[in-house]
């Protein structure tokens, strides 16, 4: 089974922060799977994708601390300028939905914001690599580690 068999054509996919890090920073274990997702699903237009502004804050932290302006620029270009990837803001409605998710599932605040933002955009699935999120029933959680290479 490959990545295109996991996500139905046209399904709006929420993407958790780690997936971007694996892709852009060539993670030795998960980089190839993340690249396949972006290459075969998102970049082709097969699956539009969304993530929250929380992702932007999370992915920029390490490159900024390391003085990696090149990586900061790559992340910004992809997250703020891509036509097939929408960056979802956190507004009062998303914040309240995040509070509901935290109350039901005891999620960390960044995870609750991520899921609430993806749900507000209409995503039906979230690609993550955080097994703790599998408890969330409001959308399907797919773990990158479960996708064959």
Contact 121, 52 (CB under 8 A): no
User: For 96-125, how does the pLDDT look when each residue is reduced to its tens digit (9 = 90+)?
Assistant: 999 999 999 999 999 999 999 999 999 999
Q: Evaluate whether the domain defined by 3-146 bears CATH number 3.40.47.10.
A: no
User: For 24-46, how does the pLDDT look when each residue is reduced to its tens digit (9 = 90+)?
Assistant: 999 999 999 999 999 999 999 99
What does 41-94 look like in DSSP terms, one character per residue? IITTTSS-EEEEHHHHHHHHHHHHHTT-HHHHHHHHHHHHH-SSEEEEP--HHH
Domain chopping of the chain, boundaries: 3-146
């Amino acid at each position: 089974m490959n990545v295109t068999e996991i996500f139905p054509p046209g399904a709006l996919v929420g993407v958790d922060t780690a997936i971007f890090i694996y892709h852009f920073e060539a993670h030795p274990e998960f980089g190839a799977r993340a690249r396949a997702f972006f290459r075969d699903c998102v970049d082709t237009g097969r699956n539009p994708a969304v993530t929250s502004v929380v992702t932007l804050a999370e992915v920029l932290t390490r490159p900024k601390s390391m003085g990696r302006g090149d990586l900061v620029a790559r992340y910004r270009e992809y997250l703020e300028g891509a036509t097939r990837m929408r960056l979802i803001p956190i507004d009062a409605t998303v914040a309240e939905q995040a509070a509901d998710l935290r109350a039901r599932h005891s999620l960390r605040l960044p995870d609750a914001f991520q899921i609430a933002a993806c749900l507000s955009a209409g995503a039906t699935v979230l690609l993550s690599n955080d097994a703790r999120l599998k408890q969330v029933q409001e959308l399907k959680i797919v773990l990158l580690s479960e996708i064959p290479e």
